[in-house]
Structure 1
Amino acid sequence: MKKMKKWFIPIIASVTALCLGMLLVYPMLKMAPHDIPIAVLSLDEGANTAAGSLNAGNMVVEKIMDAGSSSGEVSKVEWTRFTNEADLQKALDNNDFYVAIIVPRDFTASLVAAKTGGLLDKVGELVGGISKLNEGATALSGGLSSVKAGSDKVSSFIDTAVAALKNGDVKAATQAIGAAKVTSSATNDGLSKLETASGTLAGGVSKLAEGAKSFSDGASKSNTNLLTLSADTKSAVKLIINQGKNPTVASSLETTLIKMVGSSGLSYDIEYLNAIPSDMGTGMLQVILMILTYISAYATAAVIASKLKPDFSIRKGRIKSISIQLLYSAGLALGIGFSVAFIVHTVVGIGIPFIDIALFVAIASFAFQLLVISAIDWLGIAGMIVPVGLLVFGMGVADLPYEFLPNAWQNLLYPWTPLRFITEGLRGILYLGEGFWNSSSQALAIVVLIGLVGLCTTIVKPIRKSE
């Protein structure tokens, strides 16, 4: 049986290692973005046009959301539409969104102003036509009045001449006829002016018709396809990119949304929230620090557990041995914290918050060491399954954004995996302005308590002579 066991153990070990490796890389192989949170807010106050009230901001929001929902690159976006700036700012402060899209207050007004600016010439033509019409109408009215007044006077003079002839007063009749001739000449002038006024009026009517048609065509064009204006004529849409939430995801979304908004013909301004300092590279520093913390804590704990292990064949001296393990672990964790911070800050030359990183890494290292030491003290070499399991099940959760994880990893592993707390805590310090004592370090403090309980309970571990 022992000979058979000798041949099967390597096979079992190989298959086990392969399975564990598969579990380690499975989240990376199956990652697919879904429910990526993006906020949208339209502050547009709208505008009144010849066709009625218009709010292009709402049109833009709907267009962007439709484009994002149908896009292959951002196919699993979870859009949240806000109604006011205060609620959106609160959500951004809480780090709830990767991106926020804001349509400005004067968006519609800028579109209408730009589109109707070309109507000013049309309005001028229309006003010119109306002025010409008024001029012709005034002249015509004056001409008609002059002709009517002259005609009335001619008739009066003729009546006077006829009456004078009947009375035999030839002189008076001759004077009346002379006055009638003079008045008739003035009336002919009035008729001439009337003809001229009629021409002016006709020209004014034609001018008015042309201006009215030109204005009508321009107004019709101004009330359609407002979103097809050039970018220079529009009030810019604001894109707020939250780099600190996850630098990799934020960068990918920035590229995609710029393409999407640009294809919509909109101008845009970009504002970075929790911006990544240039000397921190692509934003993977928190993952690198997490790996350094894990490896150093794992190696330190394994040495402490093997070299300073209590003698479990007797009960005497267990408390002392456990206390020595605990003190060594705490001291070395603090040394690891400041060493990691020194390497990154001084040796590599990256401007990190030195003290906060050092203390946070020390807390994380202490938590992992206690878990490993207590597991090995209880289970012996089999206790190595604890650090291996934490790495296998925790690496994908720590490395990938929540929205990229398979559902099983989201539901079963994400809530408790210690490696995730390390990565998120480091991200908070590096990019979000948090101190070493944050929500992740509080979660790691619970891990410390679990490790302490595991280590201290080895005091009552049954005596085994084989040890």
Structure 2
Amino acid sequence: MKLVHQKCIYFSPIIVVAVIFIFILTLIPSVNQAPKNLPIAFVNADEGMTVPAKGKVNIGDQIKQNMKSSSTAQSSVKWIFVSTTKEVEKGLNNQKYYGALIIPKDFTKKQATLQTAQPNVPAIRLLVNQGMNTAASTIASQVLNGAVDKMNENMRLQIVKRFEQNGTQLSANQALALAAPIQKTVINVNETGTHSVNGNAPVSLFQPLWMASIAGAAVVFLAIKKITFSSRKEKIVNQVGFVIIGGILALAAGFGLAWLAEVVGITVPSFLDTALFLAIAYFSFFTLISAVLSWLGLKGLPIFVIILFFGAPLLSMAPEIMPDFYREWIDPWLPMRFMVDGVRELFFFGEHLTWNHSVSALALISLISLCAVFASALPASSVKKEKSHSI
């Protein structure tokens, strides 16, 4: 059997195991998703009340102190104590908080009525920043609901104990109120809607755009490699043509992807803004990949395939859920993160295409990449040859 005489056959088990090893590494960030210091806002608007023999009573302040004492550096939640509801709403829209717990101004007054014949159950508002991150907002919702459930349990025990000490029997209204002595109203803000791939539409759009960037850069690179340049000037002029071609590809990719997203059923709030932003993202990726190819050749292409497999799982995760190593050393350097953040702002936060952080970051990547592409047209050997000819 001639096959056994091929040396590559003996290396195939090693290659197979190596491929499995590389791909299993991509699962590490997703294996143990434990949130750490997930920022959730807390607003105590409770005005309290004056009680005979007790003086000023403010249950909202007591809850606030309990929250502060329960927070540690290693807590899954980081409670951010905010002064006003308006400040919270601004923070939610600016993606500072994954959720918020708001105690109303009449909380103590209504809580005091639970021991009267006409109980008036106090209410707490829970805000969940749904568009910020699907997984993190789900965790925030669970934390907020759990916090109110714990308050309910503590308040129920305290009130029942007072009734027992006073030897008073509960009326039907009081018993009904004590079933849930604190009402909670859950409100989703910056909602993802029903046609957003469960809130993961920004991440879903990344992969086709990234692969199209790799394909476009590879095709243009191979086309340029076939051209013979007679001078350095001609090569530089050709690079200008490269930029124009990249712009055309970017517009085609941006508008094409936005249109196809609508075709498959994804809700695109502003087609023009989304298409133009995707075009900017494509051009940034295209120039980045082209810069590496211009210096390393096609052997640089696997770098971006590996970035895809290692980076894609992180894009759907909030930084507070990532392991420390990935959050501090991998996530900040992922170029596709700016694309996902920008699309999320357009889709879920009512933003329009402006010169924001995402656009400026993508533009900076493009600028640096273009400098590298043009620099590749000026190798030292070419400069020396031109100088020798001029002499």
Please indicate the TM-score interval, normalised by the length of the shorter structure: 0.7 to 0.9
Aligned in 2, Cα 1:13/1:449: closer, same or farther, shift over 3 Å?
Answer: farther
Please, which of 346, 352, 356 is the counterpart of residue 273 of structure 2? Answer: 356
| Higher radius of gyration, 1 or 2 | 1
Letter in 1 for 2:246: S
Aligned in 2, Cα 1:322/1:8: closer, same or farther, shift over 3 Å?
Answer: farther
Counterpart position of 1:99: 99
Counterpart position of 1:328: 245
Matches within 5 A, 1:23-422: 23-52=25-54, 53-63=56-66, 76-117=76-117, 233-265=120-152, 266-309=182-225, 311=227, 315=231, 317-348=234-265, 350-422=267-339
TM-score if structure 2 supplies the norm length?
A: 0.79
Deviation at residue 300 of structure 1 after TM alignment:
1.6
DSSP 3-state at the match of 2:282: helix
Counterpart position of 2:156: none
Aligned in 2, Cα 1:268/1:62: closer, same or farther, shift over 3 Å?
Answer: farther
Deviation at residue 439 of structure 1 after TM alignment:
1.3
- CA contact 2:254–2:275 (8 Å) conserved in 1: yes
Counterpart position of 1:447: 365
Q: Distance in 1 between matches of 2:183 and 2:238?
A: 68
Deviation at residue 417 of structure 1 after TM alignment:
1.1
Deviation at residue 68 of structure 1 after TM alignment:
8.2
- CA contact 2:246–2:283 (8 Å) conserved in 1: yes
Alignment RMSD, CA only? 2.9
Counterpart position of 2:353: 436
- CA contact 1:314–1:463 (8 Å) conserved in 2: no
Deviations 1:156-176 (A, max 9, x none): xxxxxxxxxxxxxxxxxxxxx
DSSP 3-state at the match of 2:225: coil
Aligned in 2, Cα 1:86/1:350: closer, same or farther, shift over 3 Å?
Answer: closer
Aligned in 2, Cα 1:449/1:365: closer, same or farther, shift over 3 Å?
Answer: same
Deviations 1:8-39 (A, max 9, x none): 77566545534432342221224321110111
Aligned in 2, Cα 1:30/1:271: closer, same or farther, shift over 3 Å?
Answer: closer
Give 5+ residue unaligned stretches, structure 2: 153-181, 383-391
Q: Distance in 1 between matches of 2:28 and 2:20?
A: 12
Q: Distance in 1 between matches of 2:241 and 2:208?
A: 25
Counterpart position of 2:162: none
DSSP 3-state at the match of 1:279: coil
Q: Distance in 2 between matches of 1:7 and 1:456?
A: 43
- The count of aligned residue pairs is 345
Identity %: 27
Aligned in 2, Cα 1:19/1:421: closer, same or farther, shift over 3 Å?
Answer: farther
Aligned in 2, Cα 1:268/1:67: closer, same or farther, shift over 3 Å?
Answer: farther
Aligned in 2, Cα 1:4/1:65: closer, same or farther, shift over 3 Å?
Answer: farther
DSSP 3-state at the match of 1:308: helix
Q: Distance in 1 between matches of 2:379 and 2:7?
A: 30
Q: Distance in 2 between matches of 1:313 and 1:462?
A: 16
DSSP 3-state at the match of 1:240: strand
Aligned in 2, Cα 1:461/1:390: closer, same or farther, shift over 3 Å?
Answer: farther
- CA contact 1:315–1:459 (8 Å) conserved in 2: no
Q: Distance in 2 between matches of 1:13 and 1:357?
A: 41
- CA contact 1:32–1:405 (8 Å) conserved in 2: yes
Q: Distance in 1 between matches of 2:27 and 2:44?
A: 41
Counterpart position of 2:168: none
Q: Distance in 1 between matches of 2:321 and 2:273?
A: 29
